[in-house]
Amino acid sequence: MYKIITNSLLSISLLISCGNVPKETKMNSSLQLISKNATPETVKLYQFMAQTAVDHKIMLGHQDALAYGPTWFGDAGRSDVKDIVGDYPAVIGLELGNIELGLDRNLDSVSFADMKRYIKETHARGGISTCSWHGSNIVTGKNAWDCGQDIVVKSVLPEGTHHKEFLTWLDKVSAFFADLVDEHGNPIPIVFRPYHENTGNWFWWCADQCTAEEYKQLWKMTIDYMLNEKSLKNLIFAYTPSTLNDESHFLDRYPGDDYVDVIGFDTYVLDDKSIDVIDTYKKDLQRSLKSTTRYAKAHNKVAIIGETGMEGIPYNTYFTEVVYPIINQYDIAWVLFWRNAWETDKPNHHYLPYKGHSSVPDFKLFVEKPEILLNKDISVK
């Protein structure tokens, strides 16, 4: 059992049963959100994330957990994780791509209205929501993966040809966050994870598309705009590059401690028949975890795994023999597995098992590990 038991604004107490002896932990005053005007609930969520990592617990996250699975779309109250283990993931991931275009549905056909509902439902259950944003290429009008130009980041910075237009995109993203309120009208805290995997080479904000300085300017401009111009008070900002070689790789494009609350990375089992992909993944995970968790500890930040998984999970001990033994060596607040696609032309694009999948037994053993937390194990309301 792992629950918040008191909710005063200045002190947070967490009750963790160790045998029958409850252990109390206090607010960590050296842990400061970059947003100085954050709501008490947002501060509380950040403290909770930090405490989870310190207590060596790991929340389970799943992208689009409530929206669909390979065999369903939009069923009320459903999630593939719940179908298998009887509870929701502690963290749900949501994707904002397309919101900048003023569309009603995101890249994966989930309506923004439904996403707001999922965030509210999750918050009411004491769970956590985190948003990624695969925003379009503003120069070509194509998607986030369109990166033949090398000029997009420059064009959205102040003085750039698309700066003003880009601010209208940030207005739309901000309006989504501003609209997230609970039944008492209080803003619901969100962990926002923009411009992710920037050490890769597949998005317009990636390393081969802009200088490190331009990337940092893009990040800072976005955060300053959302906090100062849009006065958002419910945001926690997560910086998650792609697989890391070492800490200097991590630091290369890091926007700075004044602009980042949560530190992590995204790494996947590669789809490459010419190498031992499991062995490569284990090494990638180790290196990336080592760099990020060390930095997070030394700089009073919170570490997470922003995205991970093995597409299709063709390896029936992936969760217990590959992921668990490695993540259990580090202190991270959560591990988020990528989506279980509903699209019929993506039959293998799932990263957690669903009812009937051959990895169900292994996944069940994984969530039964004492460190892994589901929604019922936490309450951050």
Residues near ligand BMA (CB under 6 A) are 95, 97, 107-108, 134, 339
Residues 6+ apart with CB under 8 A from 130: 61, 91, 92, 93, 94, 190, 191, 192, 193, 238, 336
The β-bridge partners of 305 are 335
Minimum distance from CB of 242 to ligand BMA (Å)? Answer: 12
Minimum distance from CB of 107 to ligand BMA (Å)? Answer: 4
Q: CA torsion 353→356→361→365, rounded to 10°? A: 50
Minimum distance from CB of 134 to ligand BMA (Å)? Answer: 5
User: Which CB atom, from 40 or from 97, has the smaller least distance to ligand BMA?
Assistant: 97
The β-bridge partners of 163 are none
CA 279 to chain centre: 25
Minimum distance from CB of 302 to ligand BMA (Å)? Answer: 23
CA 91 to chain centre: 8
DSSP, collapsed to helix, strand or coil, labels residue 247 as helix
Answer for the pair 128, 335: CB distance below 8 angstroms, yes or no: no
User: Which CB atom, from 41 or from 307, has the smaller least distance to ligand BMA?
Assistant: 307
User: Which CB atom, from 145 or from 229, has the smaller least distance to ligand BMA?
Assistant: 145
Answer for the pair 270, 280: CB distance below 8 angstroms, yes or no: yes
User: Which CB atom, from 54 or from 107, has the smaller least distance to ligand BMA?
Assistant: 107
Minimum distance from CB of 230 to ligand BMA (Å)? Answer: 24
User: Which CB atom, from 106 or from 222, has the smaller least distance to ligand BMA?
Assistant: 106
User: Which CB atom, from 143 or from 286, has the smaller least distance to ligand BMA?
Assistant: 143
Minimum distance from CB of 64 to ligand BMA (Å)? Answer: 7
Minimum distance from CB of 157 to ligand BMA (Å)? Answer: 25
DSSP 318: I
Minimum distance from CB of 132 to ligand BMA (Å)? Answer: 7
User: Which tokens hold the place of 89?
Assistant: 């993931």
User: Which CB atom, from 63 or from 217, has the smaller least distance to ligand BMA?
Assistant: 63
Q: CA torsion 377→115→167→208, rounded to 10°? A: 70
CA 233 to chain centre: 18
d(C-alpha 61, C-alpha 325), whole Å? 18
**Residue 376 corresponds to which amino acid?**
K
d(C-alpha 174, C-alpha 105), whole Å? 16
User: Which CB atom, from 95 or from 362, has the smaller least distance to ligand BMA?
Assistant: 95
Alpha carbon distances (Å) from 232 to 181, 228, 236: 12, 8, 10
Minimum distance from CB of 36 to ligand BMA (Å)? Answer: 32
CA 130 to chain centre: 5
User: Which CB atom, from 57 or from 339, has the smaller least distance to ligand BMA?
Assistant: 339
Residues 6+ apart with CB under 8 A from 116: 176, 179, 180
